[in-house]
Amino acid sequence: MTIAFFILFSWAMIKAKSQRQVIALSLGGAVAVMVVAPPSVHAQSLWAEIQAVLDAITGIIQTGLDSINTARTAISNSYQNVIWPTQLINQATAQVTQMIAQYQNPMRGILSTNLASATLPPVQQLESVMRNHQIGDFNTLVTNYANAYGPVPSATAASPADRAMTDMDDALTLDNLKTLKATDDTADLTLQAADQLESGASQSAPGSAPFLTATAVVASIQSQAVTQKMLAAELRQEATRLAHDNALRKQGATHTGEFGNQIINLLKRN
């Protein structure tokens, strides 16, 4: 830019034909130099630039860093004093430990109180096997049940309908007694899981507790499923009792009809 200007200016100066043109070119060139020529750097303006950078550092940047610092300090304080105060975390785990000591053993003791009440030997045996929380002795249960309640009548001692009905009654009773032995066992296992979860909670941290709560919910689903199995068994039992009563009603209706016919026949003969 500067070289082009100088060449152009020199050419015009050489070609100028009069003193007047030389003076006009000189004035024009002076104005152009003032406009085009780069300003010289002065010490004063350099210091001003440096001062501007320093002002930016100590002004906007320092203010920004101070703000971040304040915010991070507030977050840290919030974490330690409001969201996860160590004192309250320790207090919570200590409470769990204290409640384990206060409730776990006494409640276990209450539930394991012996409820056996039978007085006669065959019934005592049945009661004992009914309440032993074991699933490996179903054959003993069947034997003890038959000793207490008797077997299904033989084919010569009862009608097929009565035999089928008594067999079904016995079967549903035994089914439910077996189911209860199984659910007693699962209740023990569920209590074991609850004890372990509570013990785990006493040693947990806010970040590890979600694992325990999630597992506790899963254990609740399983417990609910077992309750449903028990309800299903009770439904079968109630339905069978209803069916039994209804079968007797059917027999009664049939017998009443036959009895009426027989009376009518007797009266006709007389």
Partner 1 sequence: MKQILTKSLDKFKSGLRWAWGHKLRVAVLGMVLAVVAPRPVKSQIIDPCCAILSFGLGTISGTLNRVIGGGLNNISSIDQGIQNFEQTTVWPQSLITQAQTLVGNIQGISTQIQSVIHTSVASATLPAPQQLEQNLLSADSSQISQTGAAYTAVYGSVPDATAAPSDVRNRIDMTDAAAQAAMKRAIEIDQLADLEIQAANQINQSIQSAAPGSAPIIEAQADAWLVRANAYTQAATADLMRVRAIDLANAGADVKTGATNTSNLGQQLMNILKRQ
Contacts to partner 1 from residues 186-245, by CB under 8 A: 186, 189-190, 192-193, 196-197, 200, 203-215, 217-222, 224-229, 231-236, 238-245
Backbone angles phi, psi at 119, to 5 degrees: -120, -30
Please identify, among the stretches 59-67, 94-102, 103-111, 120-128, the one whose residues bind partner 1 according to the rule CB under 8 A: 59-67
Residue 89, H or E segment: helix 86-99
Chain mean position to CA 46: 67
* Spatial separation of the C-alpha atoms in residues 59 and 54, rounded to whole Å: 8
Residue nearer to partner 1 on the CB measure, 18 or 117: 18
Site residues (CB under 8 A) for partner 1, limited to 121-140: 135, 138
Please identify, among the stretches 13-21, 99-107, 109-117, 122-130, the one whose residues bind partner 1 according to the rule CB under 8 A: 13-21
Token readout for 43 is 């010490």
- CB of residue 77 to partner 1, shortest distance in Å: 10
* Spatial separation of the C-alpha atoms in residues 236 and 45, rounded to whole Å: 100
Residue nearer to partner 1 on the CB measure, 122 or 198: 198
- CB of residue 177 to partner 1, shortest distance in Å: 8
Q: How many residues bind partner 1 (CB under 8 A)?
A: 121
Measured CA distances, 44 to 36, 38, 40, 50, 51 (Å): 22, 17, 11, 10, 11
- Say what angle helices 138-149 and 121-130 make with each other, to 10 degrees: 150
* Spatial separation of the C-alpha atoms in residues 92 and 84, rounded to whole Å: 11
Interface characters, 25-44, with partner 1 (x: CB under 8 A): xx--x---x--xx--xxxx-
- CB of residue 194 to partner 1, shortest distance in Å: 10
